[in-house]
Every structure is written in structure tokens, then in C-alpha cells.
Structure 1
Amino acid sequence: MSLSSLAVFLGLLSYSAAARTLKATTRTPSTQTFFPPNSFQTFEGGVDHPLSRRDDASLADSATAYVQAQLQVNSSAVTFKSGYASDIVQYAYVKQQHNNIPFVNSVANVAFKDGKVVSFGHSFSKPTSIASSTPSISIDAAVAAAEKALNGKYNNIPATLEYLVNSDNTASLVHVVQIRNKQNRVWVEAFVDAHSGQLLSTIDLVADAVYRVLPIYKEDLTDGFETLTDPQDLTASPLGWHNDGTTSFTNTTGNNVVAFYNELESATTNQSAPGLVFNYTQDPDLEPAQGMNINASVTNVFYIINTIHDVSYRYGFTETAFNFQQTNIQSGGIAGDPVLAFVQLDEGFDNSAFSTPPDGQSGEMALLLWDQTIPMRDSGLENDIVTHENTHGITNRMTGGGTGRCLQIAESGGLGEGWSDSMADWMEQTGPTIVDFYLGTYVDGGVPVRSRPYSTNSTINPYTYSSLLDSDEVHGLGEVWANMLHNVLAALVGAHGFSETARTDPSGTEGNVVFLHLFIDALALQPCQPDFLQARDAIIQADQNRYAGANKCVLWTAFASRGLGFKAFDYTDDFTVPSGC
């Protein structure tokens, strides 16, 4: 495949990061959604915007004014979608619209620091024709058409009316409805032409107290269970882990996650003793559903997802940044969306998945059994798999402003896989020597689910930017990005040391603290459907925003060591760094 043809392929292939699986699958449907080409700029210390001199300018007004000025469109063509402020940067998300109807796939994001624009991305388009804004068919007719075409059922989430830019640069008016088929693990947003009734495309939303658990830094049960007392972080979870703002629970239900067996939402695990004691001993000689193994797994999954909630909250994945909570303690975001974790889900073998609908709807984690060994093995007892899946929810929510639509093309989906592997890698590093990381060794009987470990040693892992030419599947693309991030983490830790309290204290200056700040900050900066170059640039701009560019050369050197250097372009390696480094 040539460079140019690969670029087209990576730009047009739709693969949902909103619904991501651990391994490649052949699930249907395969209907593609077109995404217009995007652009992304970073401005280091920042540039002025049209309302810079107005002290009373709101985030919405500043963002829409900047988009109008940059893209030379009038105010009727843009609408503010959402925005929030972190501890250092304000993020705004703007949509293209026509006759007050927003576009599905034409969006912009603007980041401000100290009153200046520090980054700008957009995928606005100029359609050659736009369909009438008055639908010809009803929502009911659109639902019926989508259900028939996708062999599923409408899930009663209110439908919306939006425009969809097509690959021929026309814009269709569409009814947007969510269709599910739980048996086949299908959950999509369907775009039905509001005039013809034809299904045009879809966005896949599925990525293919006292607790006896596997601590987050351990990979799987071969590292040994421990009994942890009150592991919750009350800064991130002030209600604790067993209260959703209205009710206190004595089972694996809380504000951040509800974990249960199979598809039985009532089959949560109850405390084994009064006082929120969840002490269930897992027996590796029994099948996953025998003895106390179900309860041990559900407890572990409940603990891991809550821990990831608390860690990511500390670093910026909060209510305003579109996180997953039943009750939003701080203002901002949409509540009512804790993660629902299906443990030992009886829908096949040898995989796991996370589904990320828009903010306000629960993300769903599906953890399947693996049948490569006797007895079978439970992915709920492999912490790196649970962390991997949960991170899909973080990256899908934070990229593009909480829609779950912005990691859909193949290269963006590959980045999503890489971030998920990288978060698991970060969680399991325990000291200043960043060790090689193997994902998924337990469930597959000692064989990692990735082709190579992530390593700073190019003999052990030779992947570089040009390795994208060797894969057209998101997990293969993700291995390239995850290995780059492994090298970035090692470089930062080498420069600044390692914090053993990074999971609960984000105020340190150590390299692993810096890494996770940049990881989270960059997600909100990058454009919808980012590529590798844009994801790299977002991380470097995130360092400028938070650390005044103190790590610029460390970051460039790490990326350049894997071919993503200053002049990298079109999947051709470059190992150079900017002048001054």
C-alpha cells in the first residue's frame, strides 16, 4: 500500500473508539461514517482572539468569535456545544450549523490560557449542497428504518435532528437514533436520511471499605491478592464508593460504577461481612463461575474502575470534563452515567469491550471469559485489561467535548488503543526504572495479546512512525502509539524521577506525574479525529500550557527516537528535533 493510498485509507475507514474491543473482532454493522479532513494548530504561549480585550467575554463568546474569524463564517453558522475550565486551561467545543441545526461531523475545538488561544482544531466544511431543514419523514419512520437495517431495537434515547457531511461534500439532513442488539454487542448511533428514509451511516459506540483485590499496580492474580482498607480517594469520590448521592449500598454499586455478573444488573456482589467488607477468595483451580470466583472478580472490577475514576479525576477527568458519575458532585457535565461493568459476560470468548455513548449515558464495560486454558480465565482478574477498557471511556469523552464521536477513523482509533495500553502501563510501573510492559499475559495462558512488549529497547520493540504502513487495523496502529508513549514516560521519569504517590497526589514534579498530566491535558486539546502528528503536538502544547515548555526537548527527543520527529510526515520516519534541543 502506498503512502498516499494509506493516508486516504486511514482518513476514511470508520472504526469506533467509542466502542472498542481489546482484540480485533468481526462484529457488524460495518457502515462507515465520513469525517471531513481536520486541521490542528498549536500556538505555544498563545495568540489573541477577537474578544481578547473584553474582560467580560464568556468562554462561549470567545470561542465562537475566534472560529468565525478563522474560518470566515458568520455567527449563524456556528454554535457553542460545550466547554469547561481545568486548573490551567479553558476548553471550548463548537459545532457547525445550518438553520440552527448542528452538523454531526463538522466540529471545532479552541483552548485558551491566560486570555489567549493556545490551540485550535476544526473539521468545518463547505458543502456544495445542503438538504432542506424540514424533514420529510417522521422520527418513528426513521427508527423503523434503522431497526430493520441494523437488526436491532431503538433504545429510547431521544432522537436528534442534525446534518451529516457526506464524502461527496453534500450535507444530508438526518434523524440520529441509537440502536442496540445486546446479543450481538451492537450499539450504534444511526444516521437516517430525514427525506429518503435511507440509513446513511453509523457510529459504533462499542469498543470492541475492605476489599480483597489485586492492587491496581499488579497485573493479574499471579501477582497475589491483597486486602485493602478504605482505598477510595475522598477528594475524587467524596461520597465514597458505595453511595450515589441518594442511596447507600452494601454491594458493588456506587456513584462511579455498578459491577455485576453477566447481564444481570441485579447480580451485584454483596458485602461478605458487615461494614463493607468484600473478602472473597478466588480459587484458580476452579472454573470462573464456581465457588467464590464470581464474587472475587466482581469485587476486583469494582475496585479497579473506582480507582481509575479517582486517579483520572485527580488529573482532570472531572464532571465538567464529561466523566462517568451517577451524581455530579461539582457543577458541570451531565449526571446519570456511572460505568456499568458486565463481569463474565456470556457473549463469546477471548475479548473485552467498552462502549462510550455521549455524556449523560452510562459507559458499559463487557468482560468476557477466555477459553485458551483449563480452567478458563476471567478478564476481570487481569487489571491491565480492565484499565485498558476503562481508558477508552476517558479518551472518547475528552476528545471532542463529550460526544463519543471523535475517535472514529482508523488512525484515531489506533491512538485510542494506544492510550488504553499506555494507561495500563502507567498504572503498573512501580519504580524509577520503567520496565518493559506486556499486556494481557494472564488471560491468554501466558501469551501477551500484543505482538511485542512496550520497551525503550529498539531490539525488543522496533516500532516507529513508519510502522503504521505495516498495519491497517486499530490494535496494530495502537501498538505503535503505546510504544511511543512508553518511551515518553521513560524519558520523563529519567529526567525527573518517579513518584510512588502519583496515583493520589498530582502535585508532584516527578516524571510519572508529569506524564499523566500531559496525557489527560492533551486529550482536551487535540482535534476531533486526531492523527499521530496532532496527538504528538497536543502533548507538546500541553507541556507548554502546564509547565511553560520545560519538557519540550525531552518530549521531542522521545518522540523522535521512534520516528515521530520534527519533520515526520506522511508515515515517513524522522529522527530530528527542533533547533534548540
Structure 2
Amino acid sequence: MIGFDNLLKSVSLAIAYAYATSASPFPNNVKYATHHVREVGKGLQIESFYPPSTYETFGVGIEHPLAKRDNPDLEESAIAFVGSRLGISKSTITFKSGFIGETARHAFVKQSHDGVPFANAVANIAFNHENRVIAFGTSFVKLTSIAPSQPSIPIADAITKAEELIDGKYNDHPPSLEFLVLQDGSAVLTHVIQIQNDKTGTWVEAFIDAHTGQLHSITDFVNKFSYLVLPITSEVPTEGFQVLDNPQDTLASPFGWHSDGTTSTTTTAGNNVIASKGAPTPQSGPGEFIYPWDPTAPPTSQGNVNAAVVNAFYVVNTVHDFSYRYGFTESAFNFQANNFGNGGRANDRVIVSVQNAAGTNNADFATPPDGQSGSMRVSSQLFLWTFTSPPRDGALENDILVHENTHGITNRMTGGGTGRCLQTTEAGGMGEGWSDAMAEWTEHKSSDVPDYVMGQFVTNNPAGIRTHPYSTSPTVNPLRYSSIATLNEVHDIGEVWANMLHNVYAALVGAHGFSTTARTNPGGTEGNIVFLHLFIDALALQPCNPTLPAARDAWIQADANRYGGANACLLWQAFASRGLGVGAASHRDSTTVPDGC
């Protein structure tokens, strides 16, 4: 057993990676971009500090050291560019992952020392298909000191201490050894261990000092939220259930929703998703999953449980299929048991737990790294909502299900499949905003863009669960970039970002029209298609733990990559209308747009 002398109940963690050697390399004036306070275990508070990323986009692209080669290797090109751009040895750069998308090749690398990677000293590079660099984000660091790279505390002792502090159990995922930089610029060596507690819904990585045994940091894989299943374009049960025949998209799910290509099931279990309350729901008849919902019966009645499980299975599979069409594929770190040889790591289908007993009036989605699988590992927990009598089931409100699944997309695609790169308060807030925006995208049926309200059914409240409807009207929704200066909670910050994206969506549809086949035909030019392409493309372009300005820049670059910048002024005007114009920084508004716009 390892000892902790005078361990404070509130542990302050600092991951400060800087290109400076001062005692406090990073300013703390805008903490949302670098910090996140979380409570784990039995009241233990961790204030996490993440290195601020620098981020550059390059329009049509710039050359890199291997640009003259024919067909240069992605790994070699990325390492050569980072080494040249930052003036560091290639021996200190480790390739983590990469994939080739429709408009760009993406590489994700880590800083390393003595062959040991740094946890948050990461970089992402995007190359266009003309072999030019179009985007670069980095949180690489210089250090004041660094711990020895050989641990003095055994991994077994570190696991015991992590279990004790987090109040959970080691989940057998292989631990790793990684450096972690503290706010004073020093780097500690840590054992990185995954801890879970199914009763409380906890799933974290613990960073235990490999020399002192101190808990320095956590990565929280669980994104929690309250959302409200039915045809994907519907939001609430009162819009009516429908019997849908063969809704799977066989491009994204080539063996359908009940087979991984080897094993077939007759339950709500397949290659992309397993949905259950205790056990997957079986077919109600040959090839049928038809369980009518009875609004007069409690949600825990068997018929209503089955209806909820089937609905959840349908929605999560549908999100898998349309996001696949837009780029969230196997090589881009999606969720599948069998990846069919298409890259990425397999054995990580989404596990949906309906009416989960871990809580009420909420839902959550845990996103560990690409390739992790098993019970409660890639999971969405859907709770009962107790604002009404009888309670209402979150698995019967589509916006809840879509919102939760979008956490999986954004956490996987930002940072190259690690699940670690939306951990600051501001980045976590954008995670909530992206999830709301995706839920809204699925429910549009025409070019009309009315105000959008989240969470009406489970609360039995037409105002929903947000402070304002999402709206193009500043009277209906006054939230702006500067609003974040007075906010300190991820869902509140998420409302700011989601409302900006509502305005971007409205502008694109107003300019380019609406496609009713967008979910299965991403090749059109209509505004809702353009929106989702930019949504997905920008995730892989942006840096680890992005700020709103960085995410905005990634959208602008995504448009340059895919559409030659045709929508640049429209995007700038939409963002600037809510304070995120040229010069917006540190939660101070700017309504300026580039010259020519």
C-alpha cells in the first residue's frame, strides 16, 4: 500500500504545459478555457488545469518539410511538420492516431520524453489532399523540471489508491505511464488508471503520481445531461409513434442493426448498439419489435420498458448511421463491435441502459478511448424523470437520446479518439452545445427554422430545460459570447454555443435551402447538409480543449476545405451576430467580420 501524508480532501490539480519557464507559466484570467472543477468519490474535489492550445488555420494550406515527396506517409509528415514548426527534436514527438477523411488527412501526436508520452501535451495536424497543411493545434510544452521516467511505486499500489480515492473499481483496461505537467511548469510521472462505479455512474481516468502516490488529475468520460424515442424527426411521444420498416442504412451498417457480420440476434443488440434494462428486449414477433407505449401506465411496467428500449435502440442506431455518412466512421474512431477492416479500434459498440437506477432527472454518456468495450464502458444511461406523476422516461424523448449520443461523436473526433479533449469547462460546455444542436438538426422537417426548445416531455413544460429557446431573435434569446463571462457551468455555457449554431444553421438553410433526404444523401448542396458536414469536419480540425474562437475558426477552415470558402462570410456574419466576430477573445464580444464580408 502507498501512503498519502496529509492528503487534503480538496486536491488541486494543475496540468500546465508552457513555452515559458516562469513559476506560473499560464495566466488564470480566463479559467473556463483551462480549468474544470469536478467532484469524485466521497466529496473529493479536483480542479483540473489543461494547457491552453494554440491554433492556426491556413486556408488553401502551407508547405511542410516532406511536401516535395510523392505520397508522403501521414505519420512521417505530421512528425516532421510539428518538429519544424515548434523547433523541437522529432524524437520527442510520438504519433498517436490518424485518419483520412473526405476533405483532409488528420494526424494526432503527443509530446514525449524518454519514450513516455505526456497526457495533455498533444497536437493535431490536418493536411488537404494537395498535401499542404491547413490546420495545426498544439499544447506542447517546455518544462522547468521533469520527474524520473521510471516509476518507483508499483502499478498495483497505484490502482488500490485510485480505487480508494475515486470510490470505484479498476475496470481492467490496461493502465499506462504518462507525464503530467503541473502549473509551475514541472512534469510528474503518473500511472493512468480507469476507475468505474456502476452504481454512481462514475467512469474516470485517475492520474496517480508514480513516485509519490498523489492523485494529480482525472479525465471524466461521462457527459451528463437531461434530455428527452419515435421517428428521428420527432421530439416527444405526443407526436406519435410509427412502425418503420427496415430503417437501417446498409452503407453504414452493412449487416443491419442485429448482426456484426458473424453473430446475429433477435434482441435489441447488434454491431452498433446494445440497449436494455437488465437484458436486451426480444422480438415481439418474427422480425418485429412492436411494443405499444401506454401513457396511462407507469414507465416501469414491462410494456413501457420494452417500448423505451426499442426506441432507444432505434435512435442510437440512426445517429450511428447518419453520422457515419458525414464522416464519423471506423477510422474516425466511431462505435462498433466489428469495424470490418476499415480502420480504428473495434469492440466498442454503445451500451444503452434504460431506466438506469444510478439517478433520476438526467442522462449521461461515457466516452472512453476508441476500442474500449464491454458492460458500461461505452454507455448511455437514461434515467426516469420525476417532475410528473407517474414519472416520465428519458428514453422516450428523442432530443435526450440524440444529445447523449452526440457526446460520443464530439469526444471521439476531437483529439483523435482519446476521449480526453473536451475536459475544460469551456470545451465541456461546447460539448453540451454541440449535442443540443445535433438534436435540433434531426428534428427539422422543412426550411422553416422556428425557435427550438429542449426537454419538453420529461418536464411536462413547454419551456423545456434551457433558460431560453434557441432562436435567431436576440429578444427571445439574448445569449452572446460575452455571456460566458458570468457563467460557470457547462450546460449554461453550452446554451451560448448551441444558440450560435442555431443561427449558423438558419443562415445556411436560408441561403441554400433544405434537403429532406439529408440523413442518407450527404452529397447535396442544401443548407442542412452543408451544416452537418461543417459540424463533423470541424471536430477533427479543432485543437484539444478548444475555446469558442478556436471552434469558430475550425468551422471557417472546414468550409475552406470542403466548399472552397464559399460560406466564409455567411459563417462570420452568423458568429459575429452573437459576439464571436474577428477579435472576440476572453469572453469579450466582437461584431467585426473580415474585410470583404
The two structures have a TM-score, normalised by structure 2, of: 0.92
CA distance in 2, matches of 1:526, 1:152: 33
CA distance in 2, matches of 1:81, 1:572: 35
CA distance in 2, matches of 1:380, 1:352: 9
- Structure 1 residues 522 and 307: CA distance shift in structure 2, 3 A: same
CA distance in 2, matches of 1:58, 1:107: 20
Report the equivalent of 2:472.
456
CA contact (8 A) 1:35 1:165 kept: no
Report the equivalent of 1:343.
354
| Equivalent position to 1:44, from 31, 44, 59 | 59
Residue type of the alignment partner of 1:256: N
By relative contact order (CA 8 Å, sep 6+), the higher-ranking structure is 1
Secondary structure in 2 aligned to 1:347? coil
Deviations 1:42-74 (A, max 9, x none): 000000001000114200000000000011110
**Superposition pairs of residues 46-85 of structure 1, within 5 angstroms:** 46-85=61-100
Secondary structure in 2 aligned to 1:96? strand
Deviations 1:65-122 (A, max 9, x none): 0000011110111011000101120000010000001010100000000100000000
CA distance in 1, matches of 2:441, 2:120: 32
CA distance in 2, matches of 1:160, 1:349: 34
CA contact (8 A) 2:42 2:166 kept: no
Report the equivalent of 2:296.
285
Residue type of the alignment partner of 1:517: H
CA contact (8 A) 2:34 2:52 kept: no
Report the equivalent of 1:386.
401
CA contact (8 A) 1:283 1:291 kept: no
Deviation at 1:6, TM superposition (A): 7.7
Secondary structure in 2 aligned to 1:297? helix
CA contact (8 A) 2:41 2:165 kept: no
CA distance in 1, matches of 2:193, 2:266: 36
Deviation at 1:248, TM superposition (A): 0.4
Report the equivalent of 1:401.
416
Secondary structure in 2 aligned to 1:346? coil
Structure 1: gaps spanning 5 or more residues? 17-23
Over the aligned positions, Cα root-mean-square deviation in angstroms equals 1.6
CA contact (8 A) 1:106 1:123 kept: yes
Deviations 1:453-489 (A, max 9, x none): 1001111001111111121111010000000000000
- Structure 1 residues 392 and 568: CA distance shift in structure 2, 3 A: same
CA distance in 1, matches of 2:583, 2:150: 48
Deviation at 1:26, TM superposition (A): 11
Stretch of structure 1 that moved more, 310-319 or 443-452:
443-452
- Structure 1 residues 49 and 315: CA distance shift in structure 2, 3 A: same
Secondary structure in 1 aligned to 2:305? helix
CA distance in 2, matches of 1:191, 1:6: 22
**Superposition pairs of residues 77-116 of structure 1, within 5 angstroms:** 77-113=92-128, 114-116=130-132
Report the equivalent of 1:19.
none
| Equivalent position to 1:268, from 280, 283, 291 | 280
CA distance in 2, matches of 1:52, 1:136: 44
Report the equivalent of 2:34.
12
- Structure 1 residues 214 and 424: CA distance shift in structure 2, 3 A: same
Report the equivalent of 1:21.
none
Secondary structure in 2 aligned to 1:146? helix
| Equivalent position to 1:230, from 238, 243, 246 | 246
Deviation at 1:201, TM superposition (A): 1.5
| Equivalent position to 1:499, from 488, 499, 515 | 515
**Superposition pairs of residues 59-458 of structure 1, within 5 angstroms:** 59-113=74-128, 114-208=130-224, 214-261=230-277, 264=278, 267-275=279-287, 277-362=288-373, 363-446=378-461, 447-458=463-474
Deviations 1:538-575 (A, max 9, x none): 00000000000000111011111111111222211111
- Structure 1 residues 26 and 12: CA distance shift in structure 2, 3 A: farther
CA contact (8 A) 1:32 1:203 kept: no
CA contact (8 A) 2:41 2:167 kept: no
Secondary structure in 2 aligned to 1:349? coil
Residue type of the alignment partner of 2:304: N
Deviation at 1:30, TM superposition (A): 3.3
Residue type of the alignment partner of 1:342: S
Residue type of the alignment partner of 1:10: Y
Stretch of structure 1 that moved more, 302-311 or 198-207:
198-207
- Structure 1 residues 6 and 293: CA distance shift in structure 2, 3 A: farther
Deviation at 1:510, TM superposition (A): 0.1
Deviation at 1:25, TM superposition (A): 11
Residue type of the alignment partner of 2:73: S
**Superposition pairs of residues 538-577 of structure 1, within 5 angstroms:** 538-577=554-593
Secondary structure in 1 aligned to 2:45? coil
CA distance in 1, matches of 2:145, 2:460: 55
Deviations 1:341-379 (A, max 9, x none): 000001221000000000011421000000000111000
Secondary structure in 2 aligned to 1:225? coil
Deviation at 1:11, TM superposition (A): 2.9
Structure 2: gaps spanning 5 or more residues? 1-25
CA distance in 2, matches of 1:27, 1:330: 43
Deviation at 1:29, TM superposition (A): 4.9
Report the equivalent of 1:20.
none
Count of matched residue positions in the alignment of Structure 1 and Structure 2:
562
CA distance in 2, matches of 1:6, 1:126: 18
CA distance in 2, matches of 1:97, 1:103: 6
Residue type of the alignment partner of 2:31: F
Stretch of structure 1 that moved more, 504-513 or 558-567:
558-567
Secondary structure in 1 aligned to 2:136? strand
Secondary structure in 2 aligned to 1:14? strand
CA distance in 2, matches of 1:156, 1:291: 34
CA distance in 2, matches of 1:25, 1:141: 20
CA contact (8 A) 1:15 1:408 kept: no
CA contact (8 A) 1:353 1:389 kept: yes
Secondary structure in 1 aligned to 2:580? coil
Secondary structure in 2 aligned to 1:183? coil
Secondary structure in 2 aligned to 1:33? strand
CA distance in 1, matches of 2:33, 2:470: 26
CA distance in 1, matches of 2:171, 2:417: 20
- Structure 1 residues 339 and 27: CA distance shift in structure 2, 3 A: farther
Residue type of the alignment partner of 1:136: S
- Structure 1 residues 29 and 390: CA distance shift in structure 2, 3 A: farther
Deviation at 1:244, TM superposition (A): 1.7
CA distance in 2, matches of 1:403, 1:41: 21
Deviation at 1:514, TM superposition (A): 0.1
CA distance in 2, matches of 1:66, 1:12: 26
Residue type of the alignment partner of 2:109: V
| Equivalent position to 1:535, from 551, 568, 578 | 551
CA distance in 2, matches of 1:148, 1:285: 45
Identical pairs, percent: 55
Residue type of the alignment partner of 1:111: A
CA contact (8 A) 1:288 1:376 kept: yes
Secondary structure in 2 aligned to 1:190? strand
CA contact (8 A) 1:32 1:202 kept: no
- Structure 1 residues 315 and 328: CA distance shift in structure 2, 3 A: same
Secondary structure in 2 aligned to 1:251? coil
Secondary structure in 1 aligned to 2:452? coil
Residue type of the alignment partner of 1:82: S
CA distance in 1, matches of 2:99, 2:281: 36
Secondary structure in 2 aligned to 1:286? coil
Deviation at 1:28, TM superposition (A): 5.5
- Structure 1 residues 556 and 214: CA distance shift in structure 2, 3 A: same
CA contact (8 A) 1:323 1:394 kept: yes
Deviation at 1:12, TM superposition (A): 3.4
CA contact (8 A) 2:40 2:166 kept: no
CA distance in 2, matches of 1:26, 1:509: 49
Secondary structure in 1 aligned to 2:30? helix
